[in-house]
Amino acid sequence: MNHSLDHRTIVIVEGRSISTFRLRKALEKDGAAVCVTSKAEAAVALHQAKPDAVVIDFSLASDCEDLCAELEREAVTYMYCSSPNRQQDYSAQVSAAQDVAAALAEVVNHYEATMPGLPNSGREIDPELYAI
């Protein structure tokens, strides 16, 4: 079992499309502590959880400019995600959630390896490299 997110805290901002249950389980299986929150409560959750990364439901993309600006100010990496989608069957959701966890671990751990002790860039994860 790969625990590439050990000792990492991930916040999921849920909307209407991603299956936060499956994503949370995949991230926890990979070793992360996970907080699931709504957009309305995201600012409070960010200050309480002090996350290493944030996953934002893609359905909220047009409503999260302020949240993303705050993440950038706080140097927290974030990604928009539309997978695992609630309309997928069980096995597709599980597989998609594992893919998201792996991509997130790659990015978060890349920053730690290249800039130990420094916060990450606080930018959106490049969708060309990590299309989920």
Q: Which domains does the chain have, with CATH numbers?
A: 9-114 (3.40.50.2300)
| Structure tokens given for 122 | 């606080």
Tell me what the mean pLDDT of segment 1-12 comes to.
Answer: 83
pLDDT in tens, 85-108: 888 999 999 999 999 999 888 888
122 φψ region: left (φ > 0), alpha (ψ -120 to 50), beta (else): left
Q: What pLDDT does residue 111 have?
A: 60
Q: What pLDDT does residue 42 have?
A: 93
Q: What pLDDT does residue 128 have?
A: 40
In a 13 Å sphere around the CA of 23, the CA atoms on its Cβ side amount to 29
pLDDT in tens, 42-65: 999 999 999 999 999 999 988 888
> Which of 65, 9, 62 is CA-nearest to residue 37?
9
